[in-house]
Amino acid sequence: MYTDSMSTPERLVEATRELLWERGYVGTSPKAIQQQAGAGQGSMYHHFAGKPDLALAAIRRTAEEMRGTAERVLGRDGSAYERVEGYLLRERDVLRGCPVGRLTMDPDVMADDALRAPVDETLDWLRGRLAGIIEEGVRGGEFSVPLDPAGTAATIVATVQGGYVLARASGSPAAFDAAVKGLLALLAPLARTV
């Protein structure tokens, strides 16, 4: 997980990211962070004001990574449908869920404006990015009906996030795959082949 070249602050942020994903905010104790990072208490408090400060750095890093991963697929060449399809079908660790989406279920993160902000900003960015792609497709005549870009983007994000929930609940990625394939089956007939 960690390389020898990683600095102590980097190890602390990475450990916090993993623990937040696995355990949530309350379950991520400073001691667990220090143990996972191989760092002492003094190191942690030398680099970060405390657990909230470290959690914010970890959440921001996770949000940046999610945006980067999504943009690598959404920024490719292709029709609007092809880019949305690529996003929906990209490789994911479905049973672990979305590291950003899971934070929305953490009451301690959602109750803290600073911790909630990067989560909300990232999901808002994703909806906006998808809406822009749908809008490009509508303007370019790629769809047989004038889709509502914002509504379609919200549906795409809700399908992915809901698919994670269904997969985790059933213990099988098949539930996620069924949700994605269902949405693509609805969109595919609307997409004109160019």
Tell me the three-class secondary structure of 22-88, residue by residue. HHCCCCCCHHHHHHHHCCCHHHHHHHCCCHHHHHHHHHHHHHHHHHHHHHHHHCCCCCHHHHHHHHH
H or E stretch covering 13 = helix 8-23
Q: Is residue 8 part of a domain?
A: no
Answer whether residue 18 is part of any domain: no
Which pLDDT band, with edges at 50, 70 and 90, does 110 fall under? very high
| 174 belongs to a structural domain | yes
Interval 44-99: pLDDT, tens:
888 898 899 999 999 999 999 999 999 999 999 999 999 999 999 999 999 999 99
Q: Which residue range forms the structural domain that includes residue 133?
A: 59-190
Q: Could you report the per-residue pLDDT of 167-190, keeping only the tens digit for each? A: 999 999 999 999 999 999 999 999
Residue 186's CATH number: 1.10.357.10
Q: Note the pLDDT of residue 4.
A: 63
